[in-house]
A and B are shown apart, each in its own frame.
Chain A
Amino acid sequence: MEGLIAVATGLLAGTITGIVPGAGVTVAMVLATPLLMSFDVTQLLLFYMSLASMVQFTGTIPAVYLGVPGETNSLPAVIEGTKFNRRKMAKLAIGICAVGSVLGSLVAVAVTYGLLSVLVEHITVFFSNATKFYLYIFIIAFCLLVYNKKNILVNLSLCAGGFVLSVPGESDISPDFRYTFGIEDLQFGVPLMPVLIGFLIVPTIAKMFSSSNSNVFLPNIDIGFCKVIKYFRKKLIASSLRGSIIGYLCGFVPGVSTVLSTNASYSFEKKLHPNNPGKLLVSSETANNSGQFASMLPLLLIGIPITGSEIVLYSLLVDAGWSPFQFDNVNTNADMIFRQIVPWFVVANVAGLVIAWPLARHILKLFANSKKFLIATLVVGVLLLNTYLGVLDYRVWLYTVCLLVFSGVGLLLKKYETVPLIFMYILGNDIEAVFYRQMLI
């Protein structure tokens, strides 16, 4: 029952998030925090997995119908999906994407299962400080080279800013509280929520406010689901399988994960079939879901988050009592993944197919016509959320001050992707400890 609640709420949140242009999994995780605080570790993982999977389904819908990406990785869907919409075949596009997404998820599960024994055999490699040290260097390098149009200086400044925010309070290598400037509330660090709201949600709201939305629904040819399946099986299955594998491998790349999955698969398919929007669309959307599953494995198995939304999840998991070191060995982690997470992952994907196919367009219409209301609700919602969490944490004034300051800075940074900052803020302490130990060993 608890699993069902987590999956159902994750699916609902994912449906809404995917459809609201500009919103993403990270923003949804932040907004759902009051609910997530009552979840245990497994429920948090289930919620996240359902949310992230569902977003991959519904994110295609605004891309195809409105020509705006619901998620950052829906860009190929915008390019190829709108071609379908112009030919009044949007419903077919949504259908083949949904079927491809389910196939991609299943392939990802199967590949993981097949590779598990190799992983188990070499797991102690991941326990060593040196491995973590090189992984963090790899991830930081990606942060510097991937975001903000590869502007290293901007990314470096954001990383430095995030690290500075991670410093006050308890360190991972020393028993003392540091840089608290006599403020007792800073002993527990700069609070997470104002950082996320200020640097993630406020810029998102600002972008939503300034974006224009064509909001045009072209009349479409109705098409049955059986026909979609038949079309998929005959014409698209090979592209979908190719996308699954490429997406799965790219899903492990820190920082870019599913964005790389989608685009790499799209580019590869474009070389093979440059003028076939169906194959291109299916390949990229399948890769999206396959990559989503793969991207969670480093977090689940060795406790290293590799995407922005996983960093937020990681923080919530730790607050819920999860420790990347809680399991004696990878067998236990793998057991948890395959017994508790994977069955629900499959359910979430099938539910995604069922929901995305008939319902999403109606929900999209509702949202597209009430943009101002949506923004106002979001603003009030985040203010209440911050105050509520501040009260719960007995640090409401610090939350409020931080929110004001970070929102101001967040607005100034609205043109930039702030993921490097969030990454360093949340993992800064661990990175510092790993680097320090590496010098000693």
Chain B
Amino acid sequence: MSLFATVTSAQTITVINNGKSGGSFNARTLMYKDGLEAAGFTVNYENIGKISQAVKVFKDTKEPTIMVYANNQVYKQDLFHTSKNFIMLEYQQPLYVCTANHAKDKSGTLTVAHGKGYDPKLLRTVLGDDIVLVPYKNSGAMLKGMLGGDVDMMVNNQGKSFKYMESGQGTCEASDVLPIMAATVIGKNVNVKTIRRSIVNISNNDAFTEYHTSRKLHRPSGTWTSEYRLVRELEKGYEIKK
């Protein structure tokens, strides 16, 4: 029996890609496009580079649509995970605090790279007050800033932190205080539980292993209810305290 929940009549679904080429969101979105097509869906694949714009398109659409999303966007975009849009938890990762080798014995003020959406108060709670926070557009920009010697430390996601450690220029540690990042799949104008079956099957199908191995993604596990509860809890971690 096929792993796919094949569709009996031609169904059209829009898959919004808001991930950068080479990144995990992009890899996931491409995987779902391929998988849904193999399952008999007609897929409209929309490349929208900016996550904020992708969210607007998602909010406005009247067509069946899915996209890869994350809990760190929900407050900014006023688009929270609900039982109507939540399809699946993709993966969850802690944030890492990385320190450059040259800064380990440094005394005085340290410069810290962080994503523009991070809560400065929380970062100061974790790293102390004697720091200068240097905002970057995204995780890749932060990594380059560290490699280029701009800053002494960075707070970054798992993928970029591992790459930094591979460079040998510093070390990283997972933070148990900073909020967990969770990537999800959300949908609109779809039956979330039905579409979840297709999405989970695609994720577990060996035909798409390349997307997992090349991007080091984890396959999903757990029930819809438990994942939904967890995501709702995790998204609270990104509320910015003003």
Inter-chain contact B132/A440, CB cutoff 8 Å:
yes
Name the residue on B nearest A185 (C-beta).
B56
Inter-chain contact A321/B21, CB cutoff 8 Å:
yes
Q: Does B181 contact A (CB under 8 A)?
A: no
Q: How far is the CA of A40 from the CA of B46 in the complex (A)?
A: 11
Rounded to whole Å, the gap between the CB of B181 and the closest CB of chain A is 15
Rounded to whole Å, the gap between the CB of A142 and the closest CB of chain B is 23
Q: Does A128 contact B (CB under 8 A)?
A: yes
Inter-chain contact A128/B150, CB cutoff 8 Å:
yes
Q: How far is the CA of A433 from the CA of B141 in the complex (A)?
A: 11
Inter-chain contact A188/B21, CB cutoff 8 Å:
no
Provided the pairs A174-B116, A328-B163 are in contact, do residues A321 and B150 lie with their beta carbons within 8 angstroms? no
Name the residue on A nearest B57 (C-beta).
A394
Point out the residues of chain A lying under 8 angstroms from B23, CB to CB: 323, 326
Q: Does B50 contact A (CB under 8 A)?
A: yes
Point out the residues of chain A lying under 8 angstroms from B149, CB to CB: 124, 128
Inter-chain contact A319/B48, CB cutoff 8 Å:
yes
Interface 1/0 per residue, B16-29 and A, CB below 8 Å: 01011111001000
Inter-chain contact A440/B116, CB cutoff 8 Å:
no
Inter-chain contact A326/B22, CB cutoff 8 Å:
yes
- Residues facing B in A115-133 (CB within 8 A) are 124-131
Q: How far is the CA of A436 from the CA of B135 in the complex (A)?
A: 9
Inter-chain contact A323/B140, CB cutoff 8 Å:
yes
Q: Does B145 contact A (CB under 8 A)?
A: yes
Q: Does A327 contact B (CB under 8 A)?
A: yes
Point out the residues of chain B lying under 8 angstroms from A174, CB to CB: 116, 135
Interface 1/0 per residue, B32-54 and A, CB below 8 Å: 00000000000000011110110
Partner of B148, one of A131, A171, A173, A318: A131
Inter-chain contact A437/B135, CB cutoff 8 Å:
yes
Q: How far is the CA of A441 from the CA of B134 in the complex (A)?
A: 7
Inter-chain contact B56/A394, CB cutoff 8 Å:
yes
Rounded to whole Å, the gap between the CB of B64 and the closest CB of chain A is 17
Inter-chain contact B148/A188, CB cutoff 8 Å:
no
Inter-chain contact B116/A173, CB cutoff 8 Å:
yes
- A-B residue pair count with CB separations less than 8 angstroms: 104
Inter-chain contact A441/B151, CB cutoff 8 Å:
yes
Rounded to whole Å, the gap between the CB of B141 and the closest CB of chain A is 5
Inter-chain contact B134/A175, CB cutoff 8 Å:
no
Inter-chain contact A321/B26, CB cutoff 8 Å:
yes
Q: How far is the CA of A174 from the CA of B21 in the complex (A)?
A: 23
Inter-chain contact A129/B145, CB cutoff 8 Å:
yes
By size class, the interface of chain B is 35 or more
Q: How far is the CA of A171 from the CA of B137 in the complex (A)?
A: 8
Interface size of A by CB at 8 A reads: 39
Please indicate which of the listed interface residues A131, A320, A321, A440 has the most CB atoms of chain B within 10 Å of its own CB. A321
Inter-chain contact B143/A325, CB cutoff 8 Å:
yes
Q: Does B230 contact A (CB under 8 A)?
A: no
Provided the pairs A320-B21, A325-B144 are in contact, do residues A440 and B56 lie with their beta carbons within 8 angstroms? no
Point out the residues of chain A lying under 8 angstroms from B20, CB to CB: 321-323, 326
Inter-chain contact B150/A441, CB cutoff 8 Å:
yes
Name the residue on B nearest A39 (C-beta).
B47
Q: Does B76 contact A (CB under 8 A)?
A: yes
Interface 1/0 per residue, A189-224 and B, CB below 8 Å: 000000000000000000000000000000000000
Point out the residues of chain B lying under 8 angstroms from A131, CB to CB: 148
Provided the pairs A321-B20, A321-B26 are in contact, do residues A440 and B148 lie with their beta carbons within 8 angstroms? no
Point out the residues of chain A lying under 8 angstroms from B147, CB to CB: 124, 127
Please indicate which of the listed interface residues B140, B141, B163 has the most CB atoms of chain A within 10 Å of its own CB. B141
Rounded to whole Å, the gap between the CB of A399 and the closest CB of chain B is 14
Q: Does A41 contact B (CB under 8 A)?
A: yes
Q: How far is the CA of A171 from the CA of B133 in the complex (A)?
A: 16
Inter-chain contact B52/A187, CB cutoff 8 Å:
yes
Q: How far is the CA of A11 from the CA of B60 in the complex (A)?
A: 37
Q: Does B171 contact A (CB under 8 A)?
A: no
Q: Does A170 contact B (CB under 8 A)?
A: yes
Q: How far is the CA of A436 from the CA of B141 in the complex (A)?
A: 14
Rounded to whole Å, the gap between the CB of A6 and the closest CB of chain B is 15
Q: Does A335 contact B (CB under 8 A)?
A: no
Q: How far is the CA of A375 from the CA of B62 in the complex (A)?
A: 38
Q: Does A172 contact B (CB under 8 A)?
A: yes
Name the residue on B nearest A327 (C-beta).
B22
Partner of A41, one of B21, B116, B148, B150: B21
Q: Does B103 contact A (CB under 8 A)?
A: no
Q: How far is the CA of A124 from the CA of B167 in the complex (A)?
A: 11
Point out the residues of chain B lying under 8 angstroms from A188, CB to CB: 50, 52-53, 56
Inter-chain contact B76/A318, CB cutoff 8 Å:
no
Point out the residues of chain B lying under 8 angstroms from A436, CB to CB: 135
Name the residue on B nearest A126 (C-beta).
B148
Provided the pairs A173-B137, A175-B76, A319-B49 are in contact, do residues A127 and B22 lie with their beta carbons within 8 angstroms? no
Point out the residues of chain A lying under 8 angstroms from B141, CB to CB: 325
Inter-chain contact B22/A170, CB cutoff 8 Å:
no
Name the residue on A nearest B23 (C-beta).
A326
Inter-chain contact B116/A172, CB cutoff 8 Å:
yes
Q: How far is the CA of A127 from the CA of B145 in the complex (A)?
A: 6
Name the residue on B nearest A438 (C-beta).
B150
The 7 A-B pairs at the shortest CB distance, nearest first, are namely A325-B140, A127-B148, A128-B148, A326-B22, A323-B20, A175-B117, A127-B144
List 14 contacting pairs A-B, 8 Å CB cutoff, sorted by A. A41-B21, A124-B149, A126-B148, A130-B148, A173-B116, A175-B240, A177-B52, A187-B56, A319-B50, A321-B19, A321-B26, A322-B49, A326-B22, A436-B135
12 further A-B pairs in the complex, CB-CB below 8 A; given A320-B47, A323-B140, A436-B135:
A124-B149, A127-B147, A129-B150, A172-B116, A173-B116, A320-B21, A320-B49, A321-B17, A323-B20, A323-B21, A437-B134, A441-B150
Chain A residues within CB distance 8 Å of chain B = 37, 40-41, 124-131, 170-175, 177, 184, 187-188, 318-323, 325-328, 393-394, 430, 433, 436-437, 440-441
